[in-house]
Amino acid sequence: MLRRLITTTALLAAALTGAAGGTAAAADAPLRDLAEARGIHLGTAVTGGKLTGAYADTAAAQFGSLTPGNEMKWGSVEPVRGQYSWTGADRIVDFAEAHGQRVRGHTLVWHSQLPSWVSGGTWTPDALRAVMTDHVTTQVTRYKGRVHQWDVVNEPLNEDGTLRQSVFGATLGESYIADAFRAARAADPAAKLYLNDYSTDGVGAKSDGMYALVRRLLAQGVPVDGVGFQAHLILGQVPASLEANLRRFADLGVDVAVTELDIRMTLPATAEKLDRQKADYAAVTRACLAVTRCAGITVWGFTDSDSWIPDFFPGQGAATPYDEQLNPKPAYAGIAGALAPVAPPGPAGCTATYTAQSQWGGGFTGQVTVRNTGTAPLAGWTVGWEYPAGQRITQAWNAAVTQTGTAVTATHLPYNGTVPAGGSATFGFNASWTGANPPPAALTCS
Ligand code: XIL
């Protein structure tokens, strides 16, 4: 819980000034800073070849983590057996390091974007296992200490939650997953190792299958550190069970992360759809923040000019937080708003001030103002004082007032107990006096 409370920086100060300017300052902070202050990373997939100019500037300024969109896939790094080509992947890792960003490595073992020598080969189980673990070992070793999280196995399941019959699943059964994770752990013990899939975001048959798989793997001692939820979502269809689903996996003792977030819509985008998208992005962000073990969120491309959606879902698009000209869309504000700093509950406190308003022979009217000096709302208040000269309360309004001897106690009524931070409540009374009518020396407020 503590990590959810901001502990540092100007972000909090900006939020706490209470002035519009302060709020604006917090809202203007880069997403990566807002996210870090809330204890999660906010990352993006990038295309290495585009990392120049405004695209590079935005990727560096706004995102605390980068994922190569394609450059670390098997077909990119080992197109020919045993011949590795690291140029594309290196470029992104170097860029990330130069800009203080972490890297999510994506992905080591996947049925798609596999070189044909793997997907089209005829394999004995032992030969395929050796090829797969060699690949994992070589790639993880290459980036040892430089990749924070690896998607070790991507998309292992069918829609119904059973094991996908990829070349790996069909040849090796579920055991390939354990072997891939063990090889990755041996190659870089510090990297967080993730199992990643799509359509597992909400509770359902596929995520139930993933849940059961993760339990089995953990029971066998397989080093699974995290589960990734791709979250390639459709406008207006953020699963209602997203947060509960993340939480049930976290409760197994693994981290969770939203790894490939985009929210597609039928084109053309309209103001109304973009507003809906803003709310959807905010909802996903809040779901991650609500789950302590949610390590972060990665968007699958930060600009609509660099999104896979139009190519893979004809007629759909506008799925990312920036438009094609790199202007932030409402979705950007949705994420930023959800990440806005949360003030820690401040010291509760109130003060009470006493005024004798009018006085006549033997009687007077007084008023007490209760002011909330804390940073959280008061849920109720009690004010006390001692009368120094025998004054006696005869009647009160806007508070329940009792007097025992010289001691007066006044408590809120049902309608005025809640006082916002910086706000006040007032109550009044009539009282009697003889001789002199000095005010109380001090008032207590609690
Ligand atoms: C996509 C890339 O964004 C495209 O550029 C590429 O042509 C196909 O793959 N799930 C994944 C990602 O795990 O690797 C995919 O990325 C999107 C779906």
- Determine, yes or no, domain membership for 4: no
CA nearest ligand 1 atom 17, residue? 308
Give one word for 428, left, alpha or beta, with left for phi > 0 and alpha for psi -120 to 50: beta
Residues 252 and 381 in one domain: no
Kind and range of the H or E run holding 359: strand 350-360
Tokens of 445: 């407020």
User: Residue 96, class by beta-carbon neighbours within 10 Å (0-12 exposed, 13-18 middle, 19+ buried)?
Assistant: buried
Query: Could you give the CA distance from residue 315 to residue 268 in angstroms, rounded to a whole number?
Result: 8
Task: Write down the pLDDT at residue 342.
Answer: 83
Q: How far is CA 157 from the centre of its chain?
A: 26
Task: Write down the pLDDT at residue 26.
Answer: 56
In the three-class reduction of DSSP (H, G, I as helix; E, B as strand; rest coil), residue 413 is classed as coil
- Determine, yes or no, domain membership for 3: no
Residue 351 β-bridge partners: 371
CA of 433 to the centre of ligand 1 (A): 83
Domain that includes residue 225, residue range: 10-339
Kindly report the number of other CB atoms within 10 A of residue 249's CB atom. Answer: 24
Would you say the CB of residue 137 lies under 6 angstroms from ligand 1? no
CA of 293 to the centre of ligand 1 (A): 25
Q: Is 243 a catalytic residue?
A: no
Would you say the CB of residue 199 lies under 6 angstroms from ligand 1? no
Residue 393 β-bridge partners: 431
CA of 75 to the centre of ligand 1 (A): 12
Residues 132 and 236 in one domain: yes
Task: Write down the pLDDT at residue 374.
Answer: 85
- Determine, yes or no, domain membership for 110: yes
Query: Could you give the CA distance from residue 337 to residue 345 in angstroms, rounded to a whole number?
Result: 19
Query: Which atom in ligand 1 lies closest to the alpha carbon of residue 154?
Result: 13
Tokens of 50: 């585009």
**Domain C-terminal end among 309, 339, 369:** 339
- Determine, yes or no, domain membership for 211: yes
Measured at the CA of 102, the angle between CA 194 and CA 325, to 5 degrees, comes to 105
**Domain C-terminal end among 339, 360, 379:** 339
Q: Using most ligand atoms within 8 A of CB, pick from 46, 50, 66, 70 the residue to mutate for ligand 1.
A: 70
Tell me how far CA of residue 365 lies from CA of 288, 388, 395, in angstroms: 55, 17, 9
CA nearest ligand 1 atom 5, residue? 308
**Can you point out the beta strands (E) in 149-200?**
149-154, 192-197
Query: Could you give the CA distance from residue 44 to residue 56 in angstroms, rounded to a whole number?
Result: 12
CA of 78 to the centre of ligand 1 (A): 17
Kind and range of the H or E run holding 355: strand 350-360
Residue of 71, 155, 324, 386 marked catalytic: 155
Would you say the CB of residue 391 lies under 6 angstroms from ligand 1? no
Residues 303 and 373 in one domain: no
Q: How far is CA 422 from the centre of its chain?
A: 29
CA R_g for the chain: 30
Q: Is 260 a catalytic residue?
A: yes
In the three-class reduction of DSSP (H, G, I as helix; E, B as strand; rest coil), residue 123 is classed as coil
CA of 90 to the centre of ligand 1 (A): 19
CA of 251 to the centre of ligand 1 (A): 29
Query: Which atom in ligand 1 lies closest to the alpha carbon of residue 307?
Result: 3
Task: Write down the pLDDT at residue 27.
Answer: 56
pTM of the model: 0.78
Tokens of 349: 């406190």
List the pLDDT tens digit at each of the 446 positions of the chain: 334 334 344 455 444 443 333 444 555 899 999 999 999 999 999 999 999 999 999 999 999 999 999 999 999 999 999 999 999 999 999 999 999 999 999 999 999 999 999 999 999 999 999 999 999 999 999 999 999 999 999 999 999 999 999 999 999 999 999 999 999 999 999 999 999 999 999 999 999 999 999 999 999 999 999 999 999 999 999 999 999 999 999 999 999 999 999 999 999 999 999 999 999 999 999 999 999 999 999 999 999 999 999 999 999 999 999 999 999 999 999 999 999 998 766 677 899 999 998 999 999 999 999 999 888 889 999 999 999 999 999 999 999 999 999 999 999 999 999 999 889 999 999 999 999 999 999 999 99
User: What is the β-pairing status of strands 400-404 and 392-397?
Assistant: unpaired
Query: Could you give the CA distance from residue 185 to residue 191 in angstroms, rounded to a whole number?
Result: 7
Task: Write down the pLDDT at residue 349.
Answer: 84
Q: Return the CATH number at 120.
A: 3.20.20.80
User: Residue 395, class by beta-carbon neighbours within 10 Å (0-12 exposed, 13-18 middle, 19+ buried)?
Assistant: exposed
Task: Write down the pLDDT at residue 23.
Answer: 46
Q: Using most ligand atoms within 8 A of CB, pick from 300, 303, 316 the residue to mutate for ligand 1.
A: 300
Query: Could you give the CA distance from residue 91 to residue 93 in angstroms, rounded to a whole number?
Result: 6
Would you say the CB of residue 70 lies under 6 angstroms from ligand 1? yes
Q: Using most ligand atoms within 8 A of CB, pick from 112, 149, 164, 261 the residue to mutate for ligand 1.
A: 112
On whether the CB atoms of residues 34 and 14 are closer than 8 A, the answer is no
- Please report which residue ranges of 251-300 form alpha helices under DSSP H: 271-290
Would you say the CB of residue 260 lies under 6 angstroms from ligand 1? yes
Domains contained in the chain, number: 2
Which residues, including other chains, have CB under 8 Å from residue 225's CB and lie 6 or more apart?
Answer: 149, 192, 193, 194, 254, 255
Would you say the CB of residue 243 lies under 6 angstroms from ligand 1? no
Give the residue from 24, 71, 31 showing the smallest Cα distance to 47. 71
Residues 233 and 358 in one domain: no
Would you say the CB of residue 69 lies under 6 angstroms from ligand 1? yes
- Determine, yes or no, domain membership for 2: no
- Determine, yes or no, domain membership for 1: no
- Determine, yes or no, domain membership for 156: yes
Residues 332 and 421 in one domain: no
**Domain C-terminal end among 310, 339, 368:** 339
Q: Using most ligand atoms within 8 A of CB, pick from 308, 311, 312, 320 the residue to mutate for ligand 1.
A: 308
Q: Return the CATH number at 361.
A: 2.60.40.290
User: Residue 186, class by beta-carbon neighbours within 10 Å (0-12 exposed, 13-18 middle, 19+ buried)?
Assistant: middle
- Determine, yes or no, domain membership for 188: yes
CA of 116 to the centre of ligand 1 (A): 17
User: What is the β-pairing status of strands 350-360 and 363-372?
Assistant: antiparallel
CA of 61 to the centre of ligand 1 (A): 24
